[in-house]
Structure formats: C-alpha cells, structure tokens
Chains A and B, each alone.
Chain A
C-alpha cells in the first residue's frame, strides 16, 4: 500500500476546481495508474473518497463523483468482481437522481455498462439503471454534452441488454420518445436516430408495443426530414456532416415496416419540394425503404410512387443532352443530374421488386404513349421542340432502366413498345408469324425518324446490358422462348440494315450528328449481343463489322462518323474478347484486324496516314490477341519499308516508316510492355532490323535521314529495353557482329589504328563524317548499349569501349550516353574472366581515363608501345588542354559529363575526379587568359565555349534524361544521389566563387552553380536557403546579360520562386528581402523571354505578403517597375502586372 497521503493529494487536486485542467488530468492519470497496478484497490479508493462522494457541497460532490466515473472509464479492461460492480452500479444508479452532480453519475454508468470483460453489469442492475434513467432524467433540459452521454448510455443499454429492455415495454418507448423529442444538436441527433433504429429491433414482433407507438416515433423523426443545415458554412465546423446525419435518419426511417404508412406519403410529398437536396434525399430514402419494407407494403403506394418518379425524371432541372463524343459509346450517352440518377435507381429497384405492377403501369402510362405517338411527326432531331426532346430522352431513360431491371420486365416492355417502334421505323410487323416478316429485297423506303431511332437504340442497349450483366441470366433468357428474344431475332437483320443505311446516307453536317451517333451505337449494340449468334445471326454480325471497316477505309472525311466507328469497333473487340466467344473472335480477327493491317501495308494513299495509325493503334487496344496480330503486322510493314529505303531509296517509304516508327514507340510499345507475350515478337523485330542492315551494303543518302535515324533509334532503344537478359545477349552479339563489319572497325581492327584515328582527329578542325551506313550502324549500336540490362554480357567490352571513345570524340553525343550507361551498369565485382571479352570495372575506367592499359589486354606485344600514347589521349587529359583542337576538347567534356552521370547515379567515387576535371576546366582561364592577345580570336572563342561546356556538364550530371540512364533503360540509380552531390559540391563551388578574381571565371562558376541548383530537388535547397539566396541572385544577374542563357536563367528563377512561396524558405527570404526585390525589379523588363518577366512579377506578388516593415521601403520602387510592365507586349505579363500593382499598392 502506498501512503494514503499521496492518494489523498491527487484526489484533492482533481476535486479542487481552482486547479488547471492539465493538473486535474495529471492527477486522474496517476490515480488510474495506481489502481491499474494494484497499488490501490477500487474499494479502498472509494473509501478514501467517501467524504467527497457524500458531502453536501454540490460542487465538490460533483467533482468527486466525476473522478470516480472518469477513473472507471479508464479502467474498462481491469477485472473487477461482481460485488464491486454491483455496489458501484447501485451508487451511480441512485446518483442519477442527483441533478446537481449528474455528469459524474452518467459517466460512471456509461463506463460500467460498456464493460466487455473482467466483470460485467448484471441484468438486474441494468434494469435498475434503465428505470432510474426513465424516472429521474429530463434529458432535454440538460446541456449538450450531458445529453450526448445520456444518449450514449441509452444506446449502449439497448445494444447490450436487449432482453432486459424488452421486458419494460411501453414505459421505455415512451421515455425514449420524451428524451429525444426536440433534440437539435447534430451529434446528439446521430445517437438519437441510432437509438430508434436499435429500439425497433428490440421489439421484433409485429404486434408489439412499437406498433402503438409507431405514429409517435415517426412524428418525432419526421420533423427532421429533409436534413438541411441552415448555415452551410457552420456545417464544415461540425464533426457530423450532413450526409452522415441523413444516412442515420434513413436507417431510422427504414428500421421497421411499421413506419411504412407514415414514411412513404411524407417522402412522396417532399419530392415536390423546391429544395433539390430534399428531392435527392427523398428518392434515396424511397430506394432504401423499398428494399426494407418489402414488396407488399410498397405495392400499396405503387401508383403514387410511379407518378412522382415520372415527374422527377421529366422535370429534373437541367436538360439532358445527348453527348455525341466517341467516349460515350461505351456507357450511357448522358450526363445525368443527381435527381434523375436517383430517380432511375429507385425505378430499377421497384421494377425488380414488383415487376408486374410497375411494368403494367409503364406500359399503360398515357404520357409515355403520347410521347411515343408524337415521335413520328418529326423527322430530324432539330425539328423537335426542346421540350419534347427532353421528354423523349426521359422516356428513353425510363424504358432503358425498366428493361434492364429483370428478364420479365424486359419481355413485357419489349413486347409492348418494340413492335410499334419497328412500325414507325418502316418495318411492318405481321403478328403470329415466327419467320422473318421482312424480306431482304424490300428497300428501306424512308429514313427513320430521330425519336424512334433513339428509343429503339435505348431498348436494344438495355436488353444487351441485361443479357451481359450475368452469365446465368444470359443463358436463361437466350434459351427461353422469351418474347423479346423472338422479336429481336426477327428484326435484327433488318435493323442492322436500317442503321447501316443511316450511316451511308449521312453527311458531315452537324444536323446529322445525332443520327450518326445513334446509328453507330445501334450497330455496336447489335454486334455485341452475348450468346453466340443466337439472337443476331452470323451474317448480320459480319456485315456490321464490314460496314464499320468500310467506313474506316472510305469515309475518313466524315470526322465524327469515322471516330465513332473506330471507337465502336474497339468496344466490340473488347466485349468479344472479354466474353470468350471464339467464333465471333475469329470473324473479328478476319474482318477487322486483317483488313486494318492490310490497309497499312497497301499503297492506298487516299486515307491520311495519321488516321490509319490512329485506327490501328485504337483497335489494337481492344484485346491481346488482336494487338499481337497488329504488332506483328506493323513490324512486317516497317521491315518491308526499310528494305525499300535501303535498296531503292524510296523517299515515300521513308516517310511512311517515320510515321510508323513513331506510332510504334509512342502508342503500341507502352501498351504491350505490360504483357510478357510480346517479348519474343520484340526480339524478332530487333533482330530482323539488324539483319536488314547487315545485308545492305550501300545506303542511299539524303532521304529524311536524320528523322528516320532518330525514330529508328528510339524504337530500337525501347524495344531492346523490353527484352529479357537472354534475348539481349543475343541481340548485342548480333549487333557486335554487324558493327565489326562496318568499315570503321573492319579496316582497322587494332588499337593502333584507333590511335592513328585520334591523331587524325587532332589534326583536323572539321568533323569527319562517317559514311551513311557506318553512321546507321554506330547509332543503332549505341542505342542497344543504352538499353541493356546490367546483367547482359557485352562481347569484347574493351573494343567496344575504344570504339565508343572514338565515336564520342568525333562529336556523337549518343556514344557519350552509351558510355555513361555502360559504366553505370558494369558489374563492380566481376573479375572480367567469367566470359570471354569481359573486363573489370577498373579496366574499363582505365581505358576511359587513359591510365595504363592492363597487361591482360589483347594488345599484341609488338604494339604495346602505343599504350603510352594512348594514355596521353585519355579523356581527362583531352579536357585539360592536351588536345590542341578546341572542338575535341568540347567533345571530351560532353563525353565526360555523361560518363560522370553514369557514375554519379550508381554512387561511384570516381565521379569526384570527374567533377574536379570540370572545375579545373572552369578555372583554366588563368592559364589561357595570360596571353589572350597571342591567341587568335577563333581559339579564344573555342576556349570560351569549352569553359561553358564544362559548366553545362553539371546540368547533364543532375538533370533527368529521357534518352538514357533512367528506369526505363534499367539504369542503376542510387537513392538521393542528387542530394549527396549537392552537399559535396556546394561548399567547393562557394569557396571557389569567393576566391575567384577574374570576371570570366566567376561567371563560369556561377553558371555551374546555377546548373547544380536547378538540378537539385527544392527541399534540399530550402534547407540551405539562407546561404544560397545571395548566390542565386548574383548568378541571375550574370546570366541575365546573355540572351543565350535565357533558359537556364528561367529555371533558376523558378527555383527562386519556389523558395519564395515555400513556408520553410520564409525566414531566409525575409532576411534578404531587399536584395531580392532589387534584383527582381531589374528582370521585370527582361526582353528575351516572356516567361522570365511573368515569373518575376509573380515572385514580386509573393513578396508582397512579407512583413510590412521589411518591404514597405521598397514599395515605390516596385510600383514604378511594375507600372512599366503594364505596357508589356504580352498579355499574360500585363495581367500579372495588374495583380502585382494592386498587391503592392495595398501595403
């Protein structure tokens, strides 16, 4: 036992109302933990507190009881024996009568009743609590929080002790009614609604006490419907949202069928409310109640429900508009408003529940029949007055929903409306004959009117959806002699003819758009009926497909029709593919896919090539099988055309290929990447391209070469990237074989000739071009290297490295990228002997950086002398002045940048050496600048651009490239590599900038700085904002001097604006406010880029939010600068200027 004084102290501190609430809470915690750890028992606690629980001082007594209650709440899992619980319960039960100290008693009761384990309240005690509750509590006279606890207590009692409660009967229900009546607080209401819901479940028998109280209970509930917050803004503050409350009320409403006589009339009455949320709620409640009350009770109100429903749908506010976009072909053609949508859901529910009754009401409805009869009066949709159109669409929706509801309703409605629709479309019905009453020779006399067409399509769509919605249902309704099946069988062929004729006769005028849409949709529906060819015959289906295909090949001038047809074919393909209908799938393949592929390969130049590609790629997406076929087809066409280009120099083919390749890489490849099946096809494709190049010896020159090469490279990269390691091994070997056949390598197969090449390079200032064939081979080879997996084995890596170095020094950036990818992916641990031609990472680095070649190299002994020379030409040396030619130097910098990027991404240390090379390149001014006069101008320019190049190398290092070294091309990426680089580079750059004395060097350093800052994620920049802002401003000032630097300046400005607008940067910004504003003012009239001006002014607007005292001195200056921007030639800038001016004039 702990010394009682400590316990007493805590009790006192809780009871003392002059203490702060945190102190009270702390002492409660201590007491609870004492009891929890069995230091104090409950009974000793009670004994200790005796004085506080029984004193006549109301406040102290209230606090005392509350302490006991709260403590019990916290001890809900502590086991207590039955006697303790009983005595506590009796105490609290009695205390319910003590209105001055009520809170504690309520909390205590609730805590005990809620106990789930370790001793629960006995039934007799529970009963006692309920009795005391009913006898003593005037709930509505209590405060909000107390009311809430009361309701929680009652809810808990109803949930946990239903048997006890049930025995209390009328008194209880009466008491609850009294407690709830007049409640207004949302939180309490949630509980109150739930109490009623549970209460009804406590008395399940139909003739129980609830029946007599139903009207009273409903009277209380009904006043809350519809839930509407008069202060919409206040709603946001409450924890209870309108929707939650509405849902709780709905559950209460639907809790017992006994409420039906009261609820349904109320809901129907509220449907005529002007408040749209009330309408929506009524419909929602009706739907829910329908399923709860049962068919019999709802049937009593059927007539009224139907009338109100019809009204709601017909007058649902915003007009329904048929949307004619291709996207809507798959689903509903409408954007429905909420009321109509709810009404239609309700309609579906009631039709499913009580088919006979509602179907006959729909069939017999005068208004619907009138609408149907009036349809034939108007020919096209523009003639129909908007009100009638509205009605027609509403009828369409009603019919759709009721047909789709069930097989029985479908037959009923179909039987009634379909024949007369057919008749109005010019297809007479002969009753009693099962055979087709419409013979094929009969010419469709007139164009069907829009209304009948629309309703017909809706009906067809509804039974198609019904048939699809479940497989069981499909077999059931198709096999049975359902009326609608017979009707459909009889008419399907002639309907498809009518639809096709609409499409054939339509023009591209907007007035025909609606009809075209419906025609396409009708055909699409007919072609997608499930269950094989039972409902729609094979010949009809095939003729529908042929119609669409012929539209695609011929009617490409009618934009809408063409688009819709493609989309319809896609939808048909999707459905056929999804439902496993092999027969249909075959005819789709034969008719659609084959035809589309042949369209690509044919020389039919009528149809624009872009459209062909659009069609082919869209239709491919409708199924894996089709895509497989189409991809193969496209590849064949590409290869055939490549052949044309290589062999005959066909310019037209070159253009075709470029389009095809673009489509292939942009549309088809992203789709097929997801499926493994395609890997083999891609592999075959790549190999066949290589084969073609190998076989072709003489390349024609000058036919869209650059574009063609770029497109081919892109496809090559993406395709190789999708292949597995094994396939890549084969591809790379193949590519290497072809490469070694190229003149460049075959003639000079040894390193000495490479050396000679280099010397040649040094001598000439001009770039020597490769032959066309060589260029192709080199480019494609680099593409392959870029896309390889890290595990793929590259044959003769040394030769490849040498080769890439030479190509790189000739100025081909892709060789640099390939080198970067190579060093990024080369295995660090390999010994280089696992397969012939492999080499270790160190060796590769040595080759690149021109250290000593290892003795294990293949260089024959007599030529080993060249190794020394080669080291002279290592990239590092080339960069740092060993090269006489400036061009060579620039190329070396670019190459080094990409190699550095590869190393940086994998987190290799060597990157430090490389960055040092760049920095030295930046600082080389001192050496060269010593005698600028002696240098000729040309060399000076060269030198300058070499410096720029080394500054821009930082951009390459840090920016994300689309072309290589990304996830798509399997690069090894170490997390946070940019951050690491930033944190190591920044101090070095900073100190260099401070030390530098020449203007040129400084500007170059700032340029490098800008590249690093723009490449780093903003979060890192923000951490260092204070230090960085002055440097950013300085480099902005320097960059603004040259037009050529506008892009890098813009991205740097974006970094600055990022700092300005972020919360974390605020402090640093406030500190530097003056220099920032001074600098920005200068850029408000930056002449070269609109984006710079716009961003500058936006930054100034952001600055106006800073503390008044800091920025007020700058006000005049800013206003003057901005007023100049008011006359800017660009509109966007002027608009920003107006905003900025306003913002600054207000401070």
Chain B
C-alpha cells in the first residue's frame, strides 16, 4: 500500500436531500408486495462510509480526518444505481475521486460486499467504474465482477477487516 494520502484534500459535496417515499404503505394491506426499488437502495447503501485515513494506513496523522460518506464525495449518486426487481438485477456505477485512485478497487469491493450482504441471493450484481473516470477502467471493472477474484479477496483476513470497518457505519 502507498503511504500518505492519495487524495489529501477531497472535494466535499453537500449531501442531497433524501427523497422521501410518497405515501407510507397502507396499514391494512398485509399482502401487498413492496418491490425493491431505487429509493430503498439509496437508504441501504449510498451511505457507505469510507474512512479515507484508514484506507491509506496513515498512522502518524495526529488529527484524524473526518470520515466522509461516498455520497459526500460524489463517488456514488442516486442516478448511478439501476434496479430491476423483476429480473433480479442491480447495476451500480461509481466515480473514483481522482483518475489514478488506487482505492477504486477497494471502494468497489466494499460496494459489492455490502450488496451481497443486503440483497437476496437471486440478484445479479454488476459494479462498474463510470466511463472515463479512471485510468485503468477496464481492468478495475474486470476485477470487480470476477466472482473468483472477489471470493479470493474476501479470504484475505486483512482485506475483510478493512471492508467491515468501512461498512460498519452503514448499518447503523
């Protein structure tokens, strides 16, 4: 891993007002099905929080930086999530903060793990780097969507710890 921050001063965007579900589900209708939709996704995982300092293993910084969520860094926006409940398909497109961001794979891995844990098994998850935002776009895409490689990565205890740490606040 590189020591020192890759993007020491990220641009912080304001969080967008969360979209609110229009009418709360009617009380009596016990058997109405509420399909998994985009809004639910936002609630579930746009708030994935990445501790930048943690990722970069910088230990000698005295004042710990504030953790920002992916949303605040505009790594993920609402419209970058496509959900199709009928066909059990999700596609998430994210934008790394800088072009050479070596964190892209880690962020992608976090997203994938988060989705794996919070979606029914029938779903196919597709995670992509936004076109033209990363130097090694295709390599990253390939790595993120390769089941074997993801499984291998998750067998690495250090990596799993890190992912867990990143995701912890998103379950609150």
CA A1143 to CA B34, docked complex, whole Å:
24
- Residue A692 CB within 8 A of the other chain: no
Closest residue of chain B to A1123 (Cβ to Cβ) is B121
CA A1143 to CA B120, docked complex, whole Å:
17
When the two chains form their complex, are residues B33 and A1139 in contact, meaning their CB atoms are under 8 A apart? no
- Residues of chain A within 8 A (CB-CB) of B164 are 1146
- Residue B30 CB within 8 A of the other chain: yes
Beyond A1131-B40, A1146-B164, whether A1138 also contacts B118 by CB under 8 A is: yes
CA A1130 to CA B26, docked complex, whole Å:
12
Interface flags, B62-100, vs A, CB<8A=1, else 0: 000000000000000000000000000000000000000
- Residues of chain A within 8 A (CB-CB) of B117 are 1138, 1141-1142, 1145
When the two chains form their complex, are residues A1138 and B171 in contact, meaning their CB atoms are under 8 A apart? yes
- Residues of chain A within 8 A (CB-CB) of B33 are 1129
Contact of B118 among A1088, A1129, A1141 (CB under 8 A): A1141
When the two chains form their complex, are residues A1127 and B120 in contact, meaning their CB atoms are under 8 A apart? yes
A1089, A1090, A1143, A1146 pick with most chain B CB within 10 angstroms: A1090
CA A1131 to CA B43, docked complex, whole Å:
11
- Residue A1134 CB within 8 A of the other chain: yes
B40, B120, B121 pick with most chain A CB within 10 angstroms: B120
- Residue A384 CB within 8 A of the other chain: no
- Residue B112 CB within 8 A of the other chain: no
- Residues of chain B within 8 A (CB-CB) of A1146 are 164
When the two chains form their complex, are residues A1088 and B30 in contact, meaning their CB atoms are under 8 A apart? yes
When the two chains form their complex, are residues B171 and A1139 in contact, meaning their CB atoms are under 8 A apart? yes
When the two chains form their complex, are residues B40 and A1134 in contact, meaning their CB atoms are under 8 A apart? yes
Chain B 86-131 residues near chain A, CB threshold 8 A: 117-122
- Residues of chain B within 8 A (CB-CB) of A1129 are 31-34
CA A407 to CA B104, docked complex, whole Å:
69
Beyond A1138-B118, A1142-B117, A1142-B171, whether A1130 also contacts B34 by CB under 8 A is: yes
Interface flags, A1111-1147, vs B, CB<8A=1, else 0: 0000000000001001101110011001101110110
- Residues of chain A within 8 A (CB-CB) of B34 are 1129-1131
Contact of B120 among A1089, A1123, A1139, A1145 (CB under 8 A): A1123
Contact of B30 among A1089, A1126, A1131, A1135 (CB under 8 A): A1089
CA A683 to CA B120, docked complex, whole Å:
64
When the two chains form their complex, are residues A1126 and B118 in contact, meaning their CB atoms are under 8 A apart? yes
- Residues of chain B within 8 A (CB-CB) of A1127 are 120-122
CA A681 to CA B118, docked complex, whole Å:
62
Closest residue of chain B to A1141 (Cβ to Cβ) is B117
Closest residue of chain A to B43 (Cβ to Cβ) is A1135
CA A1146 to CA B113, docked complex, whole Å:
13
- Residues of chain B within 8 A (CB-CB) of A1143 are 171
- Residues of chain A within 8 A (CB-CB) of B119 are 1126
When the two chains form their complex, are residues B171 and A1135 in contact, meaning their CB atoms are under 8 A apart? no
CA A1088 to CA B31, docked complex, whole Å:
8
- Residue B36 CB within 8 A of the other chain: yes
Chain A 1075-1109 residues near chain B, CB threshold 8 A: 1088-1090
When the two chains form their complex, are residues B44 and A1138 in contact, meaning their CB atoms are under 8 A apart? yes
- Residues of chain A within 8 A (CB-CB) of B43 are 1135
CA A1142 to CA B117, docked complex, whole Å:
7
CA A708 to CA B32, docked complex, whole Å:
33
- Residues of chain A within 8 A (CB-CB) of B122 are 1127
Closest residue of chain A to B33 (Cβ to Cβ) is A1129
Closest residue of chain B to A1138 (Cβ to Cβ) is B118
- Residues of chain A within 8 A (CB-CB) of B44 are 1135, 1138
CA A1146 to CA B43, docked complex, whole Å:
21
CA A587 to CA B97, docked complex, whole Å:
71
- Residues of chain A within 8 A (CB-CB) of B120 are 1123, 1126-1127
Interface flags, B152-164, vs A, CB<8A=1, else 0: 0000000000001
- Residues of chain A within 8 A (CB-CB) of B32 are 1129
Closest CB of chain B to A1093's CB: distance in Å? 11
CA A1129 to CA B122, docked complex, whole Å:
14
Closest residue of chain A to B119 (Cβ to Cβ) is A1126
CA A661 to CA B34, docked complex, whole Å:
39
CA A1088 to CA B164, docked complex, whole Å:
35
Closest residue of chain B to A1088 (Cβ to Cβ) is B30
Closest CB of chain B to A82's CB: distance in Å? 60
Closest CB of chain B to A1095's CB: distance in Å? 15
Closest residue of chain A to B120 (Cβ to Cβ) is A1127
Closest residue of chain A to B34 (Cβ to Cβ) is A1131
Closest residue of chain A to B122 (Cβ to Cβ) is A1127
Closest residue of chain B to A1133 (Cβ to Cβ) is B34
Closest CB of chain B to A134's CB: distance in Å? 42
Interface flags, B10-43, vs A, CB<8A=1, else 0: 0000000000000001000011111010001001
CA A381 to CA B20, docked complex, whole Å:
28
CA A1131 to CA B39, docked complex, whole Å:
11
CA A379 to CA B115, docked complex, whole Å:
54
- Residues of chain A within 8 A (CB-CB) of B121 are 1123, 1126-1127
CA A238 to CA B31, docked complex, whole Å:
54
A1088, A1129, A1139, A1143 pick with most chain B CB within 10 angstroms: A1129
- Residues of chain B within 8 A (CB-CB) of A1123 are 120-121
CA A37 to CA B121, docked complex, whole Å:
81
- Residues of chain B within 8 A (CB-CB) of A1145 are 117
CA A278 to CA B138, docked complex, whole Å:
53
Closest residue of chain A to B172 (Cβ to Cβ) is A1139
- Residues of chain B within 8 A (CB-CB) of A1134 are 36, 40
A1088, A1138, A1139, A1143 pick with most chain B CB within 10 angstroms: A1138
Closest CB of chain A to B10's CB: distance in Å? 23
Q: Which 5 A-B pairs have the closest CB atoms?
A: A1127-B120, A1138-B118, A1129-B33, A1126-B120, A1142-B171
What are 25 pairs between A and B in contact, CB < 8 Å? A1089-B30, A1090-B30, A1123-B120, A1123-B121, A1126-B119, A1126-B120, A1126-B121, A1127-B120, A1127-B121, A1127-B122, A1129-B32, A1129-B33, A1130-B25, A1131-B25, A1131-B34, A1131-B40, A1134-B36, A1134-B40, A1138-B117, A1138-B118, A1141-B117, A1142-B171, A1143-B171, A1145-B117, A1146-B164
Q: Which B positions have Cβ atoms within 8 angstroms of A?
A: 25, 30-34, 36, 40, 43-44, 117-122, 164, 167, 171
Additional A-B contacts beyond A1090-B30, A1131-B40, A1134-B36 (9; CB < 8 A):
A1089-B30, A1126-B121, A1129-B32, A1129-B34, A1130-B25, A1131-B34, A1131-B36, A1142-B117, A1143-B171
